[in-house]
Amino acid sequence: MSIVFSSCSRQQPSESGRIRWSLVLILVPIFLLAGWWLKDSLTRVQPREPKRKVVVLGFDGVDPRLCREFMDKGALPNLSQLSRQGTFRELGTVNPSQSPVSWSSFAVGGDPGQHGIFDFLTRTGGDPTYLPSPESFVGQIEARFFGGIPVRLPKAINKRGGRAFWDYAAESGIRTALVLVPVTFAPPCLPNGLAISGLGVPDLCGTQATYFYLTSNPRKVGVAQMTEFGGLVTLLKRSGDSYHAQLAGPPSPLWKQEKSRKSDGLKKQKDSIKSPGLSLDEKQKIQSEIDRLQNDLSAFTAHPQRLSMPIEVVPLSEPGTARITIDQDEKVVAVGKWSEWYRVRFKVTRFISAHGICKVLLQSVTPDVRLYVSPIEIDPERPAVPICCPPNYTRQLAQKIGLFKTRGWESDTAGLKEGALDEKAFIEDTFEVMDKHAEMALEVLHEDDWGLYVAVLSETDRVSHVMWRLIDPRHPAYDPVLAAEYGDSIEKVYRKMDDLVGKFLNEINPLTTDLYIISDHGFRSFHTGVNLNTWLSQNGPGGDASRPFMKLRLPANRQYNLQDLFSGNTDFFKASIHDPVEGTTKTEYYVNWNETRAFALGLGSIFINLRGRETWGCVARADYNAVCDEIIQGLESLVDPATGKRVIRKVYRGLEIYHGPYANIDSVAFPDLVVGFEEGYRVGWQSTLGGITDQVLVPNRDKWSGDHCGIDPSLTSGILFANRPVEASRTEIIDIAPTILDSLGVPYPTLQGRSFAREGTANP
């Protein structure tokens, strides 16, 4: 989702219309408040007591093997207590074991066919169908202005389908609280309840992690201002004793308006070429206009005009310090220490500003000035879009416990991954965030006598992603010096988890309350990237390279970045072509779609170029199963020549592993094949971003060294701890929803998951 504001008009109100505009300024807030009151009054339900209360404390990415290891050495006393007195078991995850997929399945009690979230990445469903969507599991409605006055506020749309178990609970009268639960953005408004959104909430730029790296050394900036994973590198320009730059924010309203106009014009031409009765000459003319408009839109989209705000750095006489001003907030910052929160704003119109908060890490003042500015969070006291319901609760919470990060991907993993942050700065920030989230979770727990309480902390996942290399000496990025200093980072974040579990144990009466400690998946090492589209372009049936599954027509000569993935960029799957005569550069598909039978997107999804579903589909329905069989046979035979071991454990058919309304072969979001990698392997970075590399297998020398995405779900089970015995024949994440509803005494329709309670073990 992007937090953007589009304007319907640039015209300012005339003198004769000032009274009308004054009325608008007065009435719009009244109508908005009335809407919230009306919504609350219509959904108000008489509260009732549950059969038993339920508290769920989730920790993203906690691995059962590491839990056992740390428990055996006495590092997790509270979880050890739960294991002795109640339950500790592995919790089966879903396929694929990706956080938005797993937590969505947790919510609805079913596999992705029940909710429609199949990957971190989905497709637009537009024309052409091959483009990734910037709205993977969160959609958007943009704000609109008329003459600078808001006539529609921005809001998010949760794209997860199905009904969550907390909806059943709240609607039956159970007081319900959700704290940072993934895929709850936009926040659900629960009767007698409260929800603070988690994974899915963007930063103020509309992304998950746009950080800023500023330097006074022009040699450090380079040609590319946007890094591979979303950082913005900016040159600080010297003026006397100070240095200045602009921090880029969301796209400007006028740029968004012009982009929409160009997109509408392109769509109109694409619709017109489908008109019956057109002559060949007419079709050629329309196609020529489509090509022109497409190139124009691509060039326009490649250079977005953004809102911005100033930053000034003034080195001080005291060594290692500087006065740093962002927008109008000024602080003295010391080298190597995180600043306090800056309160900033992007001015959208004369009447509207988008408010945010950020921190600064000053890295050097001599010989070069260097600093890191964290992604700009939505200000919890003045959110640009609703991030909780009731909508004023984060304001109240911030006034009690202080400002906090609101972004769903709360850790600055991208900054560490790309060298803009070091391990020390990353760990300090992430542990501080975890402490604040723990404080938030306890504050909400004390807020009311909840019948159902669910909180999820994600720092366990983030630390594991980037620090796994320091516990795996065989990893290509292993560094013995760093391992000596930071090799215990994962254990430390597990200890912090255990501390919070202990605090919850002190708050909960086991005679009246069921407590579940869960994770959505585990973790494995990621030492080798697998470029699926490279494999598809080099292999055909039976290994016949002359008939590849993906046919290339041009060299894939672009290095893709995260902006390409989440900006809705129409240059996906395209190469850059320079015309030396004209001095221009245009883009064309490097894929010959008319002869391509399959392509990969996301973190392990493969799509058949199916006729009738895809824009240039060439595979007939009668050949669908045969093409799937050929790809499965080839991929499951892939061997790493460096080790002699298989790369892929199993390739799954979407129609066999998914069940429900979203398991629809005609949907562009539905993956035909899902790759389950062996331990150590995962989709390569450029393959994920839309590129094709020369090699199928590439060593992962990146700091992002641990993973679960795409790794076979049999290798990535999560954890289940409970304060009561659970002896069910299976324990999977889809079983949690019906188990909770049975404990609460709330009726529900048939779910795919199976309740522990109905086996007579969770609630004797």
Closest CA to 120 of 461, 476, 541: 461
Question: In angstroms, rounded to a whole number, what is the distance separating the alpha carbons of residues 177 and 310?
Answer: 39
Residue 18, pLDDT above cutoff 50: no
- What does each C-alpha distance from 409 to 173, 423, 424, 502 come to in angstroms? 32, 18, 19, 25
Q: 């392109």: which residue's tokens?
A: 266
Residue 549, pLDDT above cutoff 60: yes
Q: 489-507 vs 459-467: helix axis angle to the nearest 10?
A: 170
Segment among 6-20, 89-103, 133-147, 727-741 with least mean pLDDT: 6-20
586 within 8 A of 579, measured Cβ to Cβ = yes
Confidence (pLDDT) at 400? 97
78 inside domain: yes
Provide φ and ψ at 120, rounded to 5°: -60, -30
**Residue 557's pLDDT band (boundaries 50, 70, 90)?**
low
176 within 8 A of 449, measured Cβ to Cβ = no
Confidence (pLDDT) at 368? 95
**Residue 555's pLDDT band (boundaries 50, 70, 90)?**
confident
Provide the 10 A C-beta neighbour count for residue 217. Answer: 13
Question: In this prediction, what percent of the chain has a pLDDT beyond 70?
Answer: 86
Contacts of 238 (CB under 8 A, 6+ apart): 216
160 or 156, greater pLDDT: 160
Question: In angstroms, rounded to a whole number, what is the distance separating the alpha carbons of residues 113 and 528?
Answer: 30
Structure tokens at 264: 């509408």
Confidence (pLDDT) at 14? 45
544 inside domain: yes
Mean pLDDT of the chain: 88
Question: In angstroms, rounded to a whole number, what is the distance separating the alpha carbons of residues 94 and 92?
Answer: 7
Statement to judge: residues 272 and 339 lie in one domain: no
515 within 8 A of 736, measured Cβ to Cβ = no
For the segment 252-264, the average pLDDT, to the nearest whole number, is 78
Statement to judge: residues 622 and 663 lie in one domain: yes
CA 726-52-759 angle, to 5 degrees, is 35
Instruction: Decide: helix, strand or coil at residue 762.
Output: coil
Task: Give 355-392 pLDDT, tens digit per residue.
Answer: 999 999 999 999 999 999 999 999 999 998 899 999 99
Could you tell me the residue range of the domain that residue 310 belongs to? 212-252+305-373
Question: In angstroms, rounded to a whole number, what is the distance separating the alpha carbons of residues 406 and 176?
Answer: 21
Contacts of 282 (CB under 8 A, 6+ apart): none
For the segment 307-321, the average pLDDT, to the nearest whole number, is 95
For the segment 466-472, the average pLDDT, to the nearest whole number, is 98
272 or 152, greater pLDDT: 272
Closest CA to 93 of 710, 546, 670, 511: 710
**Structural element, H or E, at residue 435:** helix 423-445
Question: In angstroms, rounded to a whole number, what is the distance separating the alpha carbons of residues 494 and 150?
Answer: 46
46 inside domain: no
Instruction: Decide: helix, strand or coil at residue 182.
Output: coil
146 or 334, greater pLDDT: 334
Task: Give 195-210 pLDDT, tens digit per residue.
Answer: 999 999 999 988 888 9
Question: In angstroms, rounded to a whole number, what is the distance separating the alpha carbons of residues 575 and 690?
Answer: 11
Structure tokens at 369: 């000035």
CATH assignment at residue 160: 3.40.720.10
Provide the 10 A C-beta neighbour count for residue 76. Answer: 26
Question: In angstroms, rounded to a whole number, what is the distance separating the alpha carbons of residues 72 and 66?
Answer: 10
Contacts of 318 (CB under 8 A, 6+ apart): none
Task: Give 595-620 pLDDT, tens digit per residue.
Answer: 999 999 989 999 999 999 998 999 99
Statement to judge: residues 246 and 283 lie in one domain: no
509 or 556, greater pLDDT: 509
**Structural element, H or E, at residue 361:** strand 360-364
Statement to judge: residues 689 and 753 lie in one domain: no
Provide φ and ψ at 21, rounded to 5°: -65, -35
Statement to judge: residues 86 and 195 lie in one domain: yes
Residue 151, pLDDT above cutoff 50: no
558 or 697, greater pLDDT: 697
Could you say which of 678, 697, 713 is where a domain stops? 713
Question: In angstroms, rounded to a whole number, what is the distance separating the alpha carbons of residues 1 and 208?
Answer: 9
Confidence (pLDDT) at 460? 99
Confidence (pLDDT) at 11? 39
- 247-251, 621-625, 724-728 — most confident range: 621-625
Which residues in 699-720 are b (16+ Cβ under 10 Å) and which e?
Answer: ebebbbbbbbbbbbbebbbbbb
Question: In angstroms, rounded to a whole number, what is the distance separating the alpha carbons of residues 196 and 383?
Answer: 12
**Residue 86's pLDDT band (boundaries 50, 70, 90)?**
very high
For the segment 575-600, the average pLDDT, to the nearest whole number, is 81
For the segment 42-62, the average pLDDT, to the nearest whole number, is 90
312 within 8 A of 324, measured Cβ to Cβ = yes
Strands of 501-573, DSSP E? 513-518, 524-530
Task: Give 656-673 pLDDT, tens digit per residue.
Answer: 999 999 999 999 999 999
Strands of 132-220, DSSP E? 138-141, 143-146, 149-152, 155-158, 176-181, 194-197, 212-215
Residue 135, pLDDT above cutoff 70: no
For the segment 527-545, the average pLDDT, to the nearest whole number, is 95
Statement to judge: residues 608 and 653 lie in one domain: yes
Q: Which amino acid is at 348?
A: V
- 264-273, 526-535, 572-581 — most confident range: 526-535
Statement to judge: residues 720 and 706 lie in one domain: no
Could you say which of 373, 397, 430 is where a domain stops? 373
**Residue 153's pLDDT band (boundaries 50, 70, 90)?**
low
Structure tokens at 375: 């992604």
For the segment 165-178, the average pLDDT, to the nearest whole number, is 98
386 inside domain: no
557 inside domain: yes
Statement to judge: residues 183 and 59 lie in one domain: yes
Q: Is the peptide bond preceding residue 738 cis, with omega within 30 degrees of 0? A: no
Confidence (pLDDT) at 559? 64
Q: Which amino acid is at 663?
A: A
Confidence (pLDDT) at 701? 96
- Burial label for 182, CB within 10 Å (0-12, 13-18, 19+), is buried
452 inside domain: yes
Structure tokens at 516: 């579940």
685 within 8 A of 693, measured Cβ to Cβ = no
DSSP letter string, 229-275:
TS-EEEEPEEETTEEEEEEEEEEPHHHHHHHHHHHHHHHHHHHHTT-
Statement to judge: residues 357 and 437 lie in one domain: no
Sheet of strand 176-181: strand arrangement: 87-91, 718-722, 513-518, 53-59, 452-457, 176-181, 194-197, 388-389
Task: Give 96-117 pLDDT, tens digit per residue.
Answer: 999 999 999 999 999 999 999 9
Closest CA to 124 of 589, 591, 567: 567
Instruction: Decide: helix, strand or coil at residue 532.
Output: helix
Which residues in 732-743 are b (16+ Cβ under 10 Å) and which e?
Answer: bbbbbbbbbbbb
260 or 264, greater pLDDT: 264
Verdict on whether the full-model pTM lies above 0.75: yes
Statement to judge: residues 453 and 353 lie in one domain: no
Confidence (pLDDT) at 134? 57
Structure tokens at 103: 């937590």
Task: Give 398-442 pLDDT, tens digit per residue.
Answer: 999 999 999 999 999 999 999 999 999 999 999 999 999 999 999
Which residues in 400-419 are b (16+ Cβ under 10 Å) and which e?
Answer: eeebbbbbbbbbbbbbbbbe
For the segment 173-185, the average pLDDT, to the nearest whole number, is 97
Q: Which amino acid is at 229?
A: F
For the segment 307-329, the average pLDDT, to the nearest whole number, is 96
Confidence (pLDDT) at 138? 57
What Rg, from alpha-carbon coordinates, does the chain have?
Answer: 26
Residue 145, pLDDT above cutoff 60: no
Statement to judge: residues 90 and 219 lie in one domain: no
505 inside domain: yes
Closest CA to 285 of 616, 127, 293: 293
**Residue 1's pLDDT band (boundaries 50, 70, 90)?**
very low
394 inside domain: no
**Structural element, H or E, at residue 22:** helix 18-42
Question: In angstroms, rounded to a whole number, what is the distance separating the alpha carbons of residues 707 and 677?
Answer: 11
HSE-CB at 743 with a 13 A cutoff on CA atoms is 32
Question: In this prediction, what percent of the chain has a pLDDT beyond 90?
Answer: 69
Question: In angstroms, rounded to a whole number, what is the distance separating the alpha carbons of residues 17 and 39?
Answer: 32
Q: Is the peptide bond preceding residue 96 cis, with omega within 30 degrees of 0? A: yes
Structure tokens at 478: 């292993």
Statement to judge: residues 573 and 698 lie in one domain: yes
Question: In angstroms, rounded to a whole number, what is the distance separating the alpha carbons of residues 737 and 54?
Answer: 11
For the segment 287-302, the average pLDDT, to the nearest whole number, is 85
Question: In angstroms, rounded to a whole number, what is the distance separating the alpha carbons of residues 452 and 441?
Answer: 13
Question: In angstroms, rounded to a whole number, what is the distance separating the alpha carbons of residues 67 and 88?
Answer: 10
Structure tokens at 280: 């060949």
Domain count, the chain: 4
146 or 182, greater pLDDT: 182
What does DSSP say about strands 452-457 and 176-181: parallel, antiparallel, or unpaired? parallel
Could you say which of 346, 373, 400 is where a domain stops? 373
Question: In angstroms, rounded to a whole number, what is the distance separating the alpha carbons of residues 295 and 742?
Answer: 57
**Structural element, H or E, at residue 699:** strand 697-699
- Taking every pair of Cα atoms in the chain, the longest distance, rounded to a whole number of angstroms, is 81
